[in-house]
């Protein structure tokens, strides 16, 4: 790693936040990430979105320090001040909720009244008080994810990295999880999370959209929507099927910059913007 | 149905471990069984002692491979040579008729030697030492202790470690403020303790139920078992670093376990195997532990005669365990080695 790479000169904000800067990651012959920058400011939630294999998990794992970076730099606190929730939660099936708190607390050298205070806070925040003696394998998917979140925040980390915390979770638990994420950010933590749900990403302060390991779009959700390339219209039967997508009962169509858009204009949201950007990249590839 | 068959073949073709079990393992088993599965002893290491040692040595049939004579040695020396595993048979010519001391801890050798000496009638007095009734369980129990340690150390440990990888908790551990040494020792220590407990139970049950004697030094036995345990735990950790699922870990662990069962002298005597096959056996840790455990329990052998086996086990332990820890450490903290990480946000 060179000092230039360490400096992370590309797309670097004025105040250097936690995050990954100009990061590239390679697994054998596969380039998983290429020159991706993800600032994660304190007190805000930063979302990473993208399809399967886009590189979301790799980016967050690089940020957490479990994936080596080929180029670029990662700005992250000491591990004692990182909270990490891997894909699937990372709970131990044969441990109870209380035993999880004991273990994670011990790893962070929390003990005595301090640990008990944090245990009570976790049980209240996650609604797991009644289930504190149940094994993780006996919890529902949503309860397990909330436990994992609680464990990731038990030690009040300054950087919280959550890899698809809401995937496979029922809508009610998703709302609960989002509440917990928002609370962590409002308490001052820098929160980075990945999701496949664009409605969740819209609530984040900043969104990074990845496609095949590269940055497709990034910025505050409103800016990302405003910056969607080309034009989005309500589709008709004459539109190119390769440039249309379904939204509820409607079908949307995308037209590149310079083309004459056909069809009724529609309000563009983050999902439309992401699809439009992906189609624009395909068109220029 | 055709689609199902095609799909199955496609999956099998890409599953290298299963393919190895399907094709390589049968060939290995055929070759190993063909050569190793042999209870017939063609050569018995023999020493002849006493005043007529040189004369008697020339009269022995070719089955007895006389490796040395010592006209000045006594009957106690003769017993000592058997105890220290210098020879399987020691013929003492100071008595009339000569006395043949046979090592009962080498079961098949002892059976063959006793039968051959029996044919000499009153010309030789035969005394089987350490296992006078040639009881199979007396020889098997000390070896079984090693097999159980191998099972716990290799299969159970690799499964336990791979489970962390499979459920994603290994990454969780990697991010926690735990040193790699904390994680490695914390993961392995319980298996070490459980395997030690297993060893104690099996040894005590062997002594209690089967009446197997424990003639040697328990502390030396514990030292040998602990050293051996480090080897098999290391093999378990190594397997876990090369496996993504518990099924894969079990497959590989079985592939390391089977040669140890077949070629360690535990079932088939090493003396009956061709040199090339027995050398494979001498590369396996169980072979050396069986030598030590049988030596201590049955013959009461001490450090002065068992040190070569203990040195081999210690060398294997250092080699395998170090490799295992290094690989596991690499899996646990890949980014800490290579990533440029800055500790804190900085203001411009």
Question: Å from B18 to nearest chain A CA?
Answer: 24
- pLDDT band, residue A4 (cuts 50/70/90): very low
Q: What is the pLDDT of residues A119-175, one digit of tens each?
A: 999 999 999 999 999 999 999 988 999 999 999 999 999 999 999 998 878 888 888
Partners of B168 on chain A (C-beta within 8 Å) are: 86-90
What is the per-residue pLDDT for B333? 67
Distance CA B27, CA B20 (A): 10
What is the DSSP pairing of strand B125-129 with strand B99-103?
parallel
Partners of B345 on chain A (C-beta within 8 Å) are: 15-18, 42, 75
Question: CB-based contact (8 Å) between B119 and chain A?
Answer: no
Bridge partners for B41 per DSSP: none
- pLDDT band, residue B336 (cuts 50/70/90): low
Q: What is the pLDDT of residues B295-331, one digit of tens each?
A: 999 999 999 999 999 999 999 999 999 999 888 888 7
What is the per-residue pLDDT for B341? 63
Who among B168, B176, B335 is closest to A69 (CB)? B335
Q: Any idea where the domains of chain A sit in the sequence?
A: 18-219, 228-283
Q: Any idea where the domains of chain B sit in the sequence?
A: 44-129, 136-341
Distance CA B77, CA A184 (A): 79
Question: Å from B87 to nearest chain A CA?
Answer: 53
Closest CA to A102 of A93, A110, A92: A110
Who among B167, B175, B340 is closest to A82 (CB)? B175
Q: Is the peptide bond before B97 cis (omega within 30 degrees of 0)?
A: yes
- pLDDT band, residue B335 (cuts 50/70/90): low
Q: Where are the beta strands (DSSP E) in A43-189?
A: 45-50, 71-75, 82-85, 159-163
Asked if residue A5 has pLDDT above 60, the reply is no
Question: CB-based contact (8 Å) between A93 and chain B?
Answer: yes
Partners of B346 on chain A (C-beta within 8 Å) are: 15-16, 75
Section B154-175 average pLDDT: 88
Q: Does the global pTM surpass 0.95?
A: no
Across the interface, do B169 and A91 touch by the CB < 8 Å criterion? Answer: yes
Distance CA A225, CA A266 (A): 12
Asked if this assembly's ipTM is beyond 0.90, the reply is no
For B:163-182, CB contacts with A below 8 A are: 167-169, 171-172, 174-178
Question: B15 exposed, middle or buried (CB, 10 Å; 0-12, 13-18, 19+)?
Answer: middle
**CATH code that applies to domain A18-219:** 3.40.50.300
Question: CB-based contact (8 Å) between A76 and chain B?
Answer: yes
Cβ contacts below 8 Å, chain A against chain B, sum to 104
What is the per-residue pLDDT for A13? 47
Partners of A61 on chain B (C-beta within 8 Å) are: 171
Question: Å from A96 to nearest chain B CA?
Answer: 15
């Amino acid at each position: 790693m060179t000092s230039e790479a360490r400096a992370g000169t590309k797309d670097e904000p004025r105040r250097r936040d936690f995050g990954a800067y100009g990061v590239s990651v390679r697994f054998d012959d596969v380039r998983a990430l290429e020159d991706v920058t993800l600032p994660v400011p304190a007190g805000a939630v930063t979302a990473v979105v993208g399809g399967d294999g886009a590189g979301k998990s790799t980016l967050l794992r690089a940020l957490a320090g479990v994936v080596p970076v080929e180029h670029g730099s990662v700005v992250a606190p000491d591990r004692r001040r990182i909270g990490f929730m891997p894909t699937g939660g990372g709970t131990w099936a044969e441990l109870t909720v209380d035993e999880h708190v004991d273990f994670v607390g011990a790893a962070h050298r929390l003990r005595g009244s301090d640990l008990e205070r944090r245990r009570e806070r976790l049980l209240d925040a996650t609604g797991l008080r009644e289930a504190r003696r149940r094994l993780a394998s006996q919890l529902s998917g949503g309860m397990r994810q909330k436990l994992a979140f609680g464990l990731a925040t038990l030690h009040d980390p300054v950087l919280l990295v959550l890899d698809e915390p809401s995937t496979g979770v029922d809508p009610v638990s998703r709302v609960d999880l989002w509440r917990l994420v928002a609370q962590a950010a409002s308490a001052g933590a820098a929160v980075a999370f990945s999701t496949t749900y664009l409605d969740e990403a819209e609530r984040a302060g900043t969104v990074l959209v990845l496609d095949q390991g590269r940055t497709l779009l990034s910025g505050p959700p409103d800016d990302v929507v405003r910056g969607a390339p080309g034009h989005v219209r309500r589709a008709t039967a004459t539109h190119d099927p390769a440039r249309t997508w379904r939204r509820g009962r409607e079908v949307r169509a995308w037209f590149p910059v310079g083309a004459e858009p056909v069809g009724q204009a529609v309000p563009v949201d983050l999902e439309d913007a992401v699809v439009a950007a992906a189609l624009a990249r395909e068109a220029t590839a | 149905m055709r689609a199902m068959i095609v799909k199955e073949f496609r999956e099998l073709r890409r599953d290298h471990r299963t393919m190895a079990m399907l094709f390589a393992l049968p060939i290995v088993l055929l070759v190993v069984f063909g050569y190793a599965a042999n209870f017939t002893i063609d050569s018995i290491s023999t020493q002849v002692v006493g005043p007529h040692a040189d004369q008697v040595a020339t009269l022995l049939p070719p089955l007895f491979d006389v490796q040395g004579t010592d006209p000045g040695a006594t009957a106690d020396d003769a017993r000592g040579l058997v105890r220290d595993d210098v020879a399987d048979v020691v013929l003492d010519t100071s008595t009339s008729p000569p006395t043949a001391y046979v090592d009962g801890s080498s079961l098949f050798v002892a059976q063959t030697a006793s039968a051959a000496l029996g044919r000499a009638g009153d010309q030789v007095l035969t005394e089987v030492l350490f296992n006078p009734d040639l009881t199979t369980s007396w020889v098997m129990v000390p070896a079984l202790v090693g097999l159980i340690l191998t099972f716990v150390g290799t299969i159970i440990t690799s499964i336990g470690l791979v489970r962390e990888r499979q459920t994603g908790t290994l990454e969780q551990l990697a991010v926690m403020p735990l040193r790699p040494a904390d994680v490695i020792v914390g993961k392995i220590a319980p298996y070490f303790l459980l395997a030690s407990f297993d060893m104690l139970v099996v040894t005590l049950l062997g002594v209690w139920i089967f009446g197997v004697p424990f003639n040697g030094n328990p502390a030396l036995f514990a030292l040998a078992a602990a050293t051996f345990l480090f080897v098999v735990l290391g093999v378990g950790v190594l397997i876990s670093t090369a496996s993504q699922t518990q099924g894969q870990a079990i497959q590989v662990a079985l592939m390391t376990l089977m040669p140890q069962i077949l070629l360690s002298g535990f079932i088939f005597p090493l003396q009956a195997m061709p040199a090339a096959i027995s050398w494979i056996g001498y590369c396996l840790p169980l072979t050396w532990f069986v030598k030590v455990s049988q030596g201590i329990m049955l013959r009461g052998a001490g450090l002065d005669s068992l040190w070569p086996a203990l040195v081999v086990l210690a060398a294997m332990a250092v080699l395998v365990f170090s490799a295992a820890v290094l690989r596991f450490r690499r899996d646990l903290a890949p980014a800490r080695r290579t990533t440029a990480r800055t500790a804190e946000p900085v203001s411009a």
